[in-house]
Amino acid sequence: MENKALFFNERAALPESKSTEIIENLAIIEGNTILDIGSGGGYFDFLFAEKVGNNGKVICVDNNKDLLDFIDKETTEKQISNIETIHYDGENFPFQENSIDLVFMRNVTHHIKGRTNYFHKLSKILKQNGKIAVIDYKKGKLFSIYGLGGHFVRRKNIIFEMKKAGFDIEKEYNFLQKQIFIIFKPLNN
C-alpha cells in the first residue's frame, strides 16, 4: 500500500496540481485545526502541519487504513507531532462540534454518498468562521478517466448541495485546469 500512498503524493506534487497556490489561498494561520477528508498519502497534510505550527493540528481522515498507516509512519520518521489519523468508515461521525477551522476535501467529494446530509454534519463541527474547501475534478471530455469513471462533481451540483446544507460560496478559484476549487462558509457566519 506504500506504493499507492506514494502515487497519491507524487500526483499531488505535480506542477499542474498547484499545491503551493492551493495552500496560499486557504489562508491557513498558526494554531488552526484542519480536517483533511480523504487524505490519501498525506501530501497536503505535511504542508498543513508546517503552516498550523505546534499549536495547531491536522486530522487526516481516510477509509483506507493502509494509507493512514503510511502517514503515521512518515510522521514518526519526520518527528511531526501535530498530525493525527482517523480511520473513518463513512458511517459514524467521530468529530467534535465546534472544533475545526478548515475542512479540506481534495478529489474525494465525488465518492461521498448523500453529500447534502454529509455537508450538514460538517457544518456542526466547524468553529465560528470555519470553512470547507472543495477541490474536485470537472467532468472533462467524455472519454477521459474522470468522465468515464464518474470521478467528478459538476460545479452546479456541489453548489446546490452545499446551499441546501446551509453553506454559501466565500471564494472560487479558476487556476486549476482540471478541477473546481471552491471555499464555502456557513450561511450563519
Total structural domains within the chain: 1
pTM of the model: 0.90
pLDDT for residue 152:
60
Task: Give the CATH number of the domain where residue 122 resides.
Answer: 3.40.50.150
For 136-157, write each residue's pLDDT tens digit: 988 655 444 444 445 668 889 9
pLDDT for residue 146:
43
Assigned C-alpha cell, 60: 487526516
Q: In what order do the strands lie in the sheet with 57-62?
A: 83-87, 57-62, 33-37, 100-106, 126-137, 179-186, 167-173
pLDDT for residue 148:
42
pLDDT for residue 93:
72
pLDDT surpassing 70 at residue 1: no
pLDDT for residue 5:
72
For 35-52, write each residue's pLDDT tens digit: 999 999 999 999 999 999
For 160-179, write each residue's pLDDT tens digit: 999 999 999 999 999 998 89
d(CA 11, CA 17): 7
**Interacting residues of 183 by C-beta distance below 8 A, sequence separation 6+:** 25, 26, 131, 132, 133, 134, 169, 170, 171, 172
Rounded to the nearest integer, the mean pLDDT of the chain is: 88
The pLDDT-based confidence of 70 (bands split at 50, 70, 90) is very high
pLDDT for residue 143:
46
For 75-127, write each residue's pLDDT tens digit: 999 999 999 999 987 667 788 899 999 999 999 888 788 888 889 999 999 99
* Residues 47-72, mean pLDDT to the nearest whole number: 96
The pLDDT-based confidence of 2 (bands split at 50, 70, 90) is low
**Residue 75 belongs to domain spanning:** 2-186
Contact (Cβ atoms closer than 8 angstroms) between residue 134 and residue 157 = no
